[in-house]
Chain A
Amino acid sequence: MSEIFVAIFSLSGAIFILLAAIGLIRMPDAYLRISVTTKAATLGIGLLLIAAAIHFKDFSITSRVLAIILFILLTAPISGHLIGRASYFSGVKLWKDSIMDDMAGKYSKATQELKSENVEKLKKIKKEKSETKLIKKDPAK
Chain B
Amino acid sequence: MTLHEFINYLVVPILSIAVLLIMYRFIKGPSIVDRVIALDLIITTGIGFIAAYSILTNRPSFLDVSMILALIAFLGTVAFSYYIQKRNK
Verify B55–A82 contact, CB threshold 8 A.
no
- The B interface is mostly helix, strand or loop, or mixed, namely helix
Verify A51–B55 contact, CB threshold 8 A.
yes
Q: In the complex, A75→B80 CA distance in Å? A: 15
Report B31 CB to chain A, min CB distance, Å: 5
What class of interface size applies to chain A in its complex with B?
Answer: 35 or more
For window 36-74 of B, CB contacts with A under 8 Å fall at: 36-38, 40-41, 44-45, 47-48, 51-52, 54-55, 60, 63-64, 66-67, 70-71, 73-74
Tell me the nearest residue of chain B to A54, going by C-beta: B55
Number of B residues with CB within 8 Å of any CB on chain A: 49
Verify B67–A68 contact, CB threshold 8 A.
yes
Binding site for A on B (CB under 8 A): 3, 6-7, 10-11, 14-15, 17-19, 21-22, 24-25, 31, 33-34, 36-38, 40-41, 44-45, 47-48, 51-52, 54-55, 60, 63-64, 66-67, 70-71, 73-74, 77-78, 80-82, 84-85, 87-89
